[in-house]
């Protein structure tokens, strides 16, 4: 067997040489699994059996390559990147792995010969929802890009038993159902109980000194949790590099339970076991309010402690001492959620490996880097000092010591007055003292980045200007990207084939090559094919909508899509107001729309976020009232697609004509849905916010619909308190008509007063400036309808969007992180003994 970086003969046979023998061997592998793993005759199989057998065959190929790649990294003593994240929204594995191993066609043909449809088989796989939204999906795109670029990059996170809730719609309201996603046996998750580690929690510190008189604290009487790793292989494109996402499950320690048990308290022992295992039970479903729950703090420490222990262990396998640690290890913190990694690394180095503070601190800073994903004050993490002291007493001491030294350094540079210094302290003083987690993340890292140019600028100038003054070189931008493998190759096979037929397949590993499509934008034959692909995708989405939303929509109508978490700042309400405006223009003014349109919404609301839940109810109420009104004559339809997740997103992005990216300027850190849609030939209507600004720079102003106030205009209105939504209501009759309809129960006759809060809140404060942007939004929409009416004009713009999306590949983003933050050179694929297939591009950027 292959344990030293060599591939076994079986695997070589399955992956090498020309397509035909490869297909034959892959088929043999599947058939062997049907016989020996499923233990059935191949004539008696159901679709679920095929899903399992195909997955097991693919898994065999992957495991070989994972072992080969990882030992090649060892031999090269490659620098490793560890991506710490509370969330990884990886999506389904089988379709992705087939695509990245370039086996999709063979597999489809092999099943087709038996009358089985691969697409139906793929639907058997649960879609693991181990994340809330953008931040979790970004982490998954990054893993794909690191593997595709041949970087030794590993994800570390939590193996939640319950991912994000399943969303159902009941009487228009969101209902949450638990999502116990992991099947009894998953072909993709490899449990590693032999690599379990111990995590201490609670307890007390005994302050003692060692023989030399140095402070030698002892953390005693802690409760111990066991972290059991589960490895999800991450296959890079072409299969040369297979990395690992390591997810930890929390298990109780039998040892500890037995101690309580022996004290005679059986129930306490069982209770303890249950409490311990709760830690990896469920993902917190909020992506906006940093609720200070103790269980969340335990989760954050739990996975960070497991990760750091594992990272140090991996390093010490190959090195002696910590002198080279920062040369061989880079740790990226995905938002502040893993910030405790900084204190934990310090604790390990100082308490367990006896480094002095200064050396440990230099090493920690040189290793860690922090990415910020939000400016919204309510989303910034803060933990009560009292809670950290109880749960992690030693870490609080370390945070205090970091703070003491940092404040002395800040005072020494004489840039700041006392108030500024207080503002920079890691501890916020007040009735309840709190640790502001962004501060240790900034102080303990050598790099702090935002996720779009505008956002990074706002981090420097608005969020933490005093830190940016102290360390200007520490702050940088890494504009987000998405992987074209999942979001184009897999999500839109029709478009992928059309592109490859015209410019070759190089774009799959080098998205800038899409630029060659600009030549096709004026070729009417190409445009027809492009339109046919979009139409087929729309028909497929229409079938999905019919099935899950019971709304029948016309694939010939313009598909206008807003798919993302439901949030006031993302302004689903703004689109709702525009739809109401259009509807009232039909029924009251007899003004029919120029273009038939279907407004498609999708997204989950945090269960505790009342306004977001009510927005979902509003959208469904609008659908109920408008879809069945004969006055619209089918020109206006609304559909709410339930349970938005990666697998649904793959269907949605391929089918959309218009993508709504309409957040209040200065609130959306980047957005990544905006990139996925544009990459699939969807035009954007959006504000000058997040990465929309960079999309505008790439596609040009004629190929995107921009409207609304800028971030600095919004900031000025906020500063001057000179925003008066009621004045807009009084002077704009369209605004008046729309808001009055909401106040007059027009869409909730059975439930009077249900939407009055919208009227009240938009007229009193309108915190997200819906009314300020309303008229310019309507004007931008008019331009959209005009352009869409001219088929050729529209198609040209969509092709130019695809052609100009190269910058938004996560390969570009990761190449920047690698060279500018991690000190890793991307683009050197791990060498296996598989000869390159003729005609294949090397995986070099």
In the complex, which residues of this chain contact ligand 26Q (CB under 6 A)? Answer: 132-135, 138, 284, 286-287, 290-291, 296, 373-374, 379, 381, 451, 480, 668-672, 690
Q: Rounded CA gap, 631 and 587, in Å?
A: 6
Give me the catalytic one of 22, 79, 296, 373: 373
When the beta carbons of 133 and 239 are compared against ligand 26Q, the nearer one is 133
- Measured from the CB of residue 421, what is the shortest distance to ligand 26Q in angstroms? 27
Which residues sit opposite 248 in a β-bridge?
158, 229
Give me the catalytic one of 455, 460, 570, 597: 570
Q: What are phi and psi of 680, to 5 degrees?
A: -105, 20
Q: Rounded CA gap, 805 and 581, in Å?
A: 33
Give me the catalytic one of 166, 637, 676, 812: 676
3-state secondary structure of 192: coil
When the beta carbons of 294 and 466 are compared against ligand 26Q, the nearer one is 294
Q: Rounded CA gap, 465 and 471, in Å?
A: 10
Give me the catalytic one of 672, 682, 684, 798: 672
594 a catalytic residue? no
- Measured from the CB of residue 248, what is the shortest distance to ligand 26Q in angstroms? 18
When the beta carbons of 98 and 714 are compared against ligand 26Q, the nearer one is 714
When the beta carbons of 381 and 643 are compared against ligand 26Q, the nearer one is 381
434: nearest Cα among 388, 376, 375, 371? 388
Ramachandran region, residue 434 (left: φ > 0; alpha: ψ -120 to 50; beta: rest):
beta
When the beta carbons of 375 and 503 are compared against ligand 26Q, the nearer one is 375
Q: What are phi and psi of 463, to 5 degrees?
A: -75, -55
Which run of H or of E encompasses 687? none
Give me the catalytic one of 240, 296, 564, 571: 564
Q: Rounded CA gap, 835 and 707, in Å?
A: 52
When the beta carbons of 132 and 598 are compared against ligand 26Q, the nearer one is 132
DSSP state of 463: I
- Measured from the CB of residue 451, what is the shortest distance to ligand 26Q in angstroms? 4
Q: What are phi and psi of 744, to 5 degrees?
A: -90, 15
Maximal CA-CA distance, the chain? 90
373 a catalytic residue? yes
CB contact set of 330 (below 8 Å; sequence gap of 6+): 79, 80, 81, 82, 367, 369, 821, 822, 823, 824
When the beta carbons of 451 and 498 are compared against ligand 26Q, the nearer one is 451
When the beta carbons of 452 and 832 are compared against ligand 26Q, the nearer one is 452
> How far is the CA of 279 from the CAs of 199, 246, 376, 390, in angstroms?
11, 16, 27, 17
Strand intervals (E) in 202-284: 204-206, 218-220, 223-235, 242-252
Task: Establish how many alpha carbons lie within 13 A of residue 812's alpha carbon, considering only the half-sphere containing its beta carbon.
Answer: 19
How many helical (H) and strand (E) elements, i.e. helices and strands, does the chain have?
Answer: 34, 23
Handedness of CA 648, 83, 160, 311 (dihedral sign): positive
637 a catalytic residue? no
140: nearest Cα among 641, 485, 437, 476? 485
Q: Look up tokens 């497929």; give the residue.
A: 540
Q: Look up tokens 């906020």; give the residue.
A: 718
With 0-12 / 13-18 / 19 or more C-beta atoms within 10 angstroms meaning exposed / middle / buried, residue 355 is buried
When the beta carbons of 445 and 549 are compared against ligand 26Q, the nearer one is 445
- Measured from the CB of residue 130, what is the shortest distance to ligand 26Q in angstroms? 12
Which residues sit opposite 245 in a β-bridge?
155, 232
With 0-12 / 13-18 / 19 or more C-beta atoms within 10 angstroms meaning exposed / middle / buried, residue 116 is middle
395 a catalytic residue? no
Cβ atoms of residues 670 and 748 within 8 Å: no
Give me the catalytic one of 65, 565, 597, 746: 565
The CB-nearest residue to ligand 26Q is 134
564 a catalytic residue? yes
- Measured from the CB of residue 836, what is the shortest distance to ligand 26Q in angstroms? 35
3-state helix, strand, coil in the chain (%, to 5): 55, 15, 35
Which run of H or of E encompasses 600? strand 597-602
How, if at all, do strands 368-371 and 447-450 pair? parallel
- Measured from the CB of residue 480, what is the shortest distance to ligand 26Q in angstroms? 5
How far does CA 760 lie from the centroid of its chain?
34
When the beta carbons of 670 and 680 are compared against ligand 26Q, the nearer one is 670
The total number of residues written for the chain in this structure: 845
When the beta carbons of 477 and 581 are compared against ligand 26Q, the nearer one is 477
Locate 719 and state its tokens: 């500063």
> How far is the CA of 641 from the CAs of 125, 328, 618, 621, 839, in angstroms?
20, 46, 14, 14, 42
When the beta carbons of 161 and 287 are compared against ligand 26Q, the nearer one is 287
* H helices present in 185-291, as ranges: 254-262, 266-278
* H helices present in 656-752, as ranges: 673-679, 692-699, 711-720, 725-731, 733-743
672 a catalytic residue? yes
402: nearest Cα among 473, 460, 335, 342? 342
When the beta carbons of 291 and 844 are compared against ligand 26Q, the nearer one is 291
Catalytic sites, residue numbers: 373, 564-565, 570, 672, 676
């Amino acid at each position: 067997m292959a344990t030293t970086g060599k591939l076994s003969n079986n695997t070589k046979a399955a992956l090498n040489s020309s397509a035909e023998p490869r297909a034959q061997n892959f088929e043999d592998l599947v058939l062997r699994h049907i016989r020996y793993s499923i233990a059935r005759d191949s004539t008696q199989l159901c679709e679920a059996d095929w899903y399992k057998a195909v997955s097991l065959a693919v898994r065999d190929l992957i495991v070989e390559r994972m072992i080969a790649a990882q030992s090649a990294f060892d031999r090269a003593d490659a620098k490793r990147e560890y991506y710490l994240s509370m969330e990884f929204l990886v999506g389904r594995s089988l379709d992705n792995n087939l695509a990245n191993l370039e086996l999709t066609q063979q597999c489809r043909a092999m099943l087709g010969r038996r009358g089985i449809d691969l697409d139906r088989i793929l639907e058997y796989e649960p879609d693991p929802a181990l994340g809330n939204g953008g931040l979790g999906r970004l982490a998954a795109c990054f893993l794909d890009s690191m593997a595709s670029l041949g970087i030794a990059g590993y994800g570390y996170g939590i193996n939640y038993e319950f991912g994000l809730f399943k969303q159902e719609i009941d009487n228009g309201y969101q209902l949450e159902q638990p999502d116990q996603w992991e099947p009894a046996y998953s072909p993709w998750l490899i449990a590693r109980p032999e690599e379990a580690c111990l995590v201490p929690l609670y307890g007390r510190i005994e302050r003692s000194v060692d023989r030399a008189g140095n402070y030698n604290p002892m953390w005693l009487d802690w409760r111990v949790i066991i972290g059991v790793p589960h490895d999800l292989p991450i296959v890079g494109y072409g299969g040369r590099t297979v990395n690992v996402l390591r997810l930890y499950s929390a298990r109780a320690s039998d040892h500890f339970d037995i101690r309580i048990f022996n004290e005679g308290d059986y129930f306490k022992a069982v209770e303890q076991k249950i409490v311990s295992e709760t830690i990896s039970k469920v993902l917190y479903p909020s992506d906006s309010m940093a609720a200070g729950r103790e269980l969340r703090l335990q989760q954050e420490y739990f996975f960070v402690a497991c990760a750091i222990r594992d990272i140090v262990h991996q390093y010490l396998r190959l090195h002696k001492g910590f002198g080279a640690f920062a040369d061989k290890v880079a740790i990226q913190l995905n938002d502040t959620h893993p910030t405790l990694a900084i204190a934990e690394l310090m604790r390990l180095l100082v308490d367990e490996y006896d480094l002095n503070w200064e050396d440990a601190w230099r090493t920690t800073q040189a290793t860690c880097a922090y990415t910020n994903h939000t400016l919204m004050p309510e989303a910034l993490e803060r933990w009560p000092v009292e809670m950290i002291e109880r749960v992690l007493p030693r870490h609080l001491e370390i945070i205090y010591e970091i703070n003491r030294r940092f404040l002395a350094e800040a005072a020494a540079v004489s840039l700041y007055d006392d108030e500024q210094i207080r503002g920079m302290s890691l501890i916020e003083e007040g009735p309840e003292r709190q640790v502001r987690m962004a501060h240790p993340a900034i102080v303990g890292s050598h790099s702090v980045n935002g996720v779009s140019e505008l956002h990074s600028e706002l981090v420097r100038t608005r969020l933490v200007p005093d830190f940016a003054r102290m360390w200007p070189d520490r702050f940088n931008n890494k504009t987000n990207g998405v992987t074209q493998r999942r979001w184009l190759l897999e999500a839109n096979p029709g478009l992928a084939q059309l592109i490859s037929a015209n410019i070759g397949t190089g774009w799959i590993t080098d998205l800038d090559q899409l630029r060659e499509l600009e030549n096709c934008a004026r070729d009417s034959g190409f445009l027809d094919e492009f339109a046919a692909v979009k139409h087929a995708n729309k028909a497929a989405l229409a079938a999905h909508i019919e099935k899950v939303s019971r709304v029948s929509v016309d694939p010939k109508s313009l598909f206008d899509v807003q798919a993302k978490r439901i949030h006031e700042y993302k302004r689903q309400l703004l689109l709702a107001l525009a739809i109401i405006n259009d509807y009232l223009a039909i029924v009251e003014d007899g003004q029919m729309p120029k273009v038939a349109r279907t407004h498609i919404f999708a997204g989950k609301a945090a269960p505790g976020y009342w306004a977001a839940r009510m927005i979902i109810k509003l959208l469904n109420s609008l659908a109920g009232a408008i879809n069945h009104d004969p006055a619209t004559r089918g020109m206006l339809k609304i559909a709410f697609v339930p349970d938005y997740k990666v697998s649904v997103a793959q269907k949605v992005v391929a089918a959309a004509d218009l993508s709504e990216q309409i957040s209040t300027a200065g609130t959306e850190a980047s957005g990544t849905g905006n990139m996925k849609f544009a990459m699939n030939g969807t035009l954007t209507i959006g504000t000058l916010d997040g990465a929309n600004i960079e999309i505008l720079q790439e596609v040009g102003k004629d190929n995107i619909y921009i409207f609304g106030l800028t971030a600095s205009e919004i900031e000025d209105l906020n500063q001057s308190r000179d925003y008066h939504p009621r004045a807009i209501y009084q002077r704009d009759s369209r605004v008046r008509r729309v808001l009055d309809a909401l106040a007059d129960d027009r869409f909730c006759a059975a439930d009077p007063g249900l939407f009055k809060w919208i009227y009240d809140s938009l007229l009193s404060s309108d915190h997200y400036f819906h009314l300020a942007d309303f008229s310019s939004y309507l004007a931008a929409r008019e331009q959209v309808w005009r352009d869409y009416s001219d088929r050729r004009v529209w198609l040209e713009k969509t092709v130019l969007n695809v052609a100009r999306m190269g910058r938004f590949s996560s390969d570009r983003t990761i190449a920047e992180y690698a060279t500018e933050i991690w000190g890793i050179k991307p683009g050197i694929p791990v060498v296996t003994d598989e000869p390159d297939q003729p005609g294949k591009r090397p995986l070099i950027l």
